[in-house]
Amino acid sequence: MMEQLDIQSLVRENIRNISPYASAREEFTKCEREMIYLDANENPFKSNINRYPDPHQKEIKELLSKRKNIPVENILIGNGSDEILDLIFRAFCEPKKDNVLILPPTYGMYKVLASINDIAVKEVSLSREYQPKVEKILKESNTYSKILFLCSPNNPTGNSFDTALMEKLIRTFKGIVVLDEAYIDFSSKNSWTDRWNEFPNLIITQTASKAYGMAGVRLGIGYAAEQIIRILKNIKPPYNVSTISQRKMRDRLQEIGSVQQEIQEIKRQRFWLENELLQICFVKKIYPSEANFLLIKVDDASLRYTQLLTKGIVVRNRTKEVLCNNCLRITVGTKEENQKLMQVLNTI
C-alpha cells in the first residue's frame, strides 16, 4: 500500500484557493438549442474559427478517455506538454524556496522551466546503465523537494527505466512525481496510464508531437488524480488550445489505425538503422532504444556532427551532456532519409 500523501499540502498557498477565470461561454457549453452569442466580443462573421475554442477540449478528452479507459476528469490538455510542465511548476513550487529533482541526462526543458519559475534544481545523474539511482535520489530530496521528474523512455538515451525502480520512487518520494511518456508509443513496455489510479501523486504527460506526428500543432496531455487535474485546470489559461489544434487532434484520434501503422514503420526503420550503423567503423556503441531515435557513441561527436551538417543532414550532438561523451542522437527518419544518412556516413 502507498503511504497517504496530502496533495493539498504540496500546493502553493496562493494557488490553493484560487478562483479560476470563468470564460464567457462556460455556462452554455451544454446548450442543445442554437444560440446567438453576443457575450465574448468575437467577430460575428463566420470564418470557421471566429469563435473562441472549447476551453474544456471535450471532444479530445472523450476520445482519449475511450482509448485509454481513463475518466475525462483525470485528463488535462495543454498547449504542448511544456505548458503542462509549466503549470505543474506554478501549482506546486514556491519560487526561491522549493526545489525539484531531475536525473540527467534528461529532457532539457525541466531545467529551463525551473529557471523561469525561479526554482532550485537538484541533479542526480543516472547510473552508467542509464537507470535511476533510487537511494541517492531519496537521500538528495528534502522537505522542500516538491517534484521529481522521470522521463521514460528517456531523452536523450532512448531507454526505458526499470519498472520496479520507478515504482519505488513513486511510492516513496514525498512530493509530485512527473512521468514524461513522450516516447511511450515506441516502447515495448506498457504505459503507466494503465496504473494511473494507484498513485495519487503521479502525473503522466504524453504528447501529440511524436507518434501522432503533429509537432506543429502543439498539444500535450496530462493524466492524474482528479484532485491534481482540478488544481492545474484552475490556473491554466481558459483558451489554451486552439480550435485548429483541437480539430487536428480529434481527426488524428479518429484515424488511430494510420497512427499505429506509422509507429510500426518507425520501429522497423529503427531496427534497420541500428543494424546499418553497426557497420560504420567510427561508431563505437549503439544504445538500446525504445524511442523514435538512437543514441550512438562515435570517435569524435563534434567532428561527425559537422561532417553530416555539411552534407545537409542535421542530428543532435549530445557530447556535452553527462554520461553522453562523444554521443550523437539520431532521429529515425523515413526509409529514404535513413538510406541517405547511411550513404553519407559510409563516405565520411
Instruction: List pLDDT tens digits, range 131-147.
Output: 999 999 999 999 999 99
Residue 33 confidence class, pLDDT cut points 50, 70, 90: confident
Instruction: List pLDDT tens digits, range 266-324.
Output: 999 999 999 999 999 999 999 999 999 999 999 999 999 999 999 999 999 999 999 99
Instruction: List pLDDT tens digits, range 202-215.
Output: 999 999 999 999 99
Can you give the pLDDT at residue 29? Answer: 62
**Percent of all residues in the chain with a pLDDT value above 70, rounded to a whole number:** 97
Q: Where are the beta strands (DSSP E) in the chain?
A: 75-78, 99-102, 120-123, 145-151, 176-180, 202-207, 220-223, 283-286, 293-298, 316-317, 327-331
Can you give the pLDDT at residue 20? Answer: 86
Question: Which cell numbers in the block locate residue 91?
Answer: 501549482
C-alpha 325: how far from its chain's center? 25
Question: Which cell numbers in the block locate residue 121?
Answer: 534544481
Residue 220 confidence class, pLDDT cut points 50, 70, 90: very high
Q: Which residues of 74-96 are buried (b: 16+ CB within 10 A; e: fewer)?
A: bbbbbbbbbbbbbbbbbbbbbee
Instruction: List pLDDT tens digits, range 52-81.
Output: 999 999 999 999 999 999 999 999 999 999
Residue 106 confidence class, pLDDT cut points 50, 70, 90: very high
Q: How many CA within 13 A on the CB side of residue 325? A: 2
Can you give the pLDDT at residue 30? Answer: 63
Query: Would you give the DSSP letter of residue 155?
Result: T
Q: Mean pLDDT across the chain, nearest whole number? A: 96
Can you give the pLDDT at residue 41? Answer: 92
**Percent of all residues in the chain with a pLDDT value above 90, rounded to a whole number:** 91
Residue 345 confidence class, pLDDT cut points 50, 70, 90: very high
Can you give the pLDDT at residue 149? Answer: 99
Query: How would you list the strands of the sheet with 176-180, edge to edge?
Result: 75-78, 220-223, 202-207, 176-180, 145-151, 99-102, 120-123
Answer yes or no: are the C-beta atoms of 247 and 229 closer than 8 Å.
Answer: no
Domains of the chain: 5-253 (3.40.640.10), 255-344 (3.90.1150.10)
Q: Does the pLDDT at position 5 exceed 90?
A: no
Measure the CA–CA gap between 243 and 346, rounded to whole angstroms: 46
- Mean pLDDT throughout 21-26? 74
pTM of this structure:
0.95
Can you give the pLDDT at residue 2? Answer: 60
